[in-house]
Structure 1
Amino acid sequence: MFYSFELEQYLGELLPEREELLKEMESQALQETIPVVTPPVGNFLAFLVKTSQASRILEIGTAIGYSTLWLAQGFEGRKGQITTIDLNVDRARRAIEYFKRAGIEEHVEVLFGDARKIIPTLEGDFDFVFVDAAKGEYLDYLNLVLPRIAPGGMLVVDNVLFRGWVVPGSEFAPKYNRLISHLREFLTNLTRNPDFQTSVLPLGDGVSVSIRKR
């Protein structure tokens, strides 16, 4: 986490009381070390979907569906559809069961497989794309989704600061060299894209928010 655990915990305590299902999923993810967004990031996702009035969402990285539930909360009774993709079939199937329990299964399409192969097969544009998958593949996802984001649409990417190690001069184990290099290249390409306005926020493990210019 880019900033202290204590600060993230405090931000979580400031949130309204979460539904029991979300708490159950948080506990499950913690027990099994399943990577999911933090509650403050989840709340931020719902906020962005609500304020942008997004109705067609693409999510890359389902896991057990925790962030998907937050995204769906942003609809607040509006008609909306989420297409979510994950390579881990077991986790994605568990996500489907959570979607049924949350009563949002009719609004979520779950696709199993490699997002890099699936995205080119999808039809139409999206007004909101959320990426939280293999960090070393972020640049691949970026190149695939940018042309599919509608004017005024939004791209949100999690874990872009990766424990703060993307900052030049940071010290980390050599095994992370390639991953950090990929993330730095991703951020450079994203922030310098003239068709998008981007802000990078030190929320959770780093979140980038980009809006396609009209």
Structure 2
Amino acid sequence: MSGVEHEYIKDYIVSLIGDHDGILKEIEEYASEKSIPIVQRETARFLELMINIKKPSRILELGTAVGYSAILMSLSSHRKNHVITIERDKNMVKIARENVKKYNLGKYIDVIEGDCLEILRDMSESFDLIFIDAGKAHYNHFLPYCLKLLDKEGIIVADNVLFRGMVASDELVKRRKITIVKRMRKYLNMVSDNDEFMTSVIPMGDGIAVTVRRN
């Protein structure tokens, strides 16, 4: 089991979603072949749903990898939004930029190379949706900057917040992951214990937290 959801539930949910084709299928196959982590299928569908409900015009993504989720979010809007995605791994940046160029999405997706925290400090734009999928030990550090950049009615979607179930159960925590678990718990406390925000944690994929400002 993943530690977040029973495998039979996960398998059933994935069976309802079906397979992607075209661009997304190609990138999924490449990521699988190279063992590069990308968002899980049910998380990808959740992102597609959020894009269709919220219809954000400007999206910020922390953690690009090969560009899969950035491309997914762009295609979900029928290329009607603009995605800025940040990645510090030079090799991943190169691959992501190649994918964006290959599929003629350069007008809609900007891949920025650098450390998320350093770049966030210098940003001043406003975003309708922020997707956090970078270093799991830094979500709590990202949050103040994300809130500064988030539109008044914007949404923050954070992936991997239950981290293989370890965040929810001390019995599952592995010694070398203690720091990540502590910091992820701090992030969830920050968005859950503040009256200014409303957060729902969804036990899907590796755990998703959705945060909005209260009216």
Same fold (TM over 0.5): yes
Q: Which residue of 1 aligns with 2:34?
A: 32
SS at match of 2:161: coil
Q: Which residue of 2 aligns with 1:153?
A: 154
Q: Which amino acid aligns with 2:41?
A: P
- Residues 64 and 115 (structure 1), Cα distance of their counterparts in 2 relative to 1, 3 Å cut: same
Q: Which amino acid aligns with 2:205?
A: G
Residue 55 of structure 2 corresponds to residue 89 of structure 1: no
CA deviation profile, 1:78-124 (whole Å, cap 9, x unmatched): 3x111000001111221122222333221011110101000122232
CA deviation profile, 1:5-33 (whole Å, cap 9, x unmatched): 44323322212541232222222222222
SS at match of 1:106: coil
- Residues 76 and 213 (structure 1), Cα distance of their counterparts in 2 relative to 1, 3 Å cut: farther
Q: Aligned partners of 2:129 and 2:72: how far apart in 1?
A: 13
Contact 1:164–1:170 (CA<8 Å) still a contact in 2?
no
RMSD: 1.6
Matches within 5 A, 1:57-206: 57-78=59-80, 80-206=81-207
SS at match of 1:57: strand
Aligned residues with identical type, % of pairs: 30
Residue 78 of structure 2 corresponds to residue 42 of structure 1: no
The offset of 1:77, in angstroms, is: 4.9
Contact 1:46–1:72 (CA<8 Å) still a contact in 2?
no
Q: Which residue of 2 aligns with 1:52?
A: 54
CA deviation profile, 1:125-178 (whole Å, cap 9, x unmatched): 111000001100111111211121011100000000011111143233211111
Structure 1 moving runs of 4+ over 6 Å: none
Q: Aligned partners of 2:149 and 2:47: how far apart in 1?
A: 19
Give the stretch that moved more between structures: 83-92 or 101-110.
101-110
Q: Aligned partners of 1:84 and 1:77: how far apart in 2?
A: 15
- Structure 2 unaligned blocks of 5 or more: none
Q: Aligned partners of 2:192 and 2:83: how far apart in 1?
A: 26
Q: Aligned partners of 1:22 and 1:170: how far apart in 2?
A: 37
What is the count of residue pairs matched by the alignment?
Answer: 213
Q: Which residue of 2 aligns with 1:19?
A: 21
- Structure 1 unaligned blocks of 5 or more: none
Q: Which amino acid aligns with 1:122?
A: M
Contact 1:58–1:82 (CA<8 Å) still a contact in 2?
yes
Q: Aligned partners of 2:85 and 2:11: how far apart in 1?
A: 28
Contact 1:199–1:208 (CA<8 Å) still a contact in 2?
yes
- Residues 14 and 76 (structure 1), Cα distance of their counterparts in 2 relative to 1, 3 Å cut: same
Q: Which amino acid aligns with 1:18?
A: H
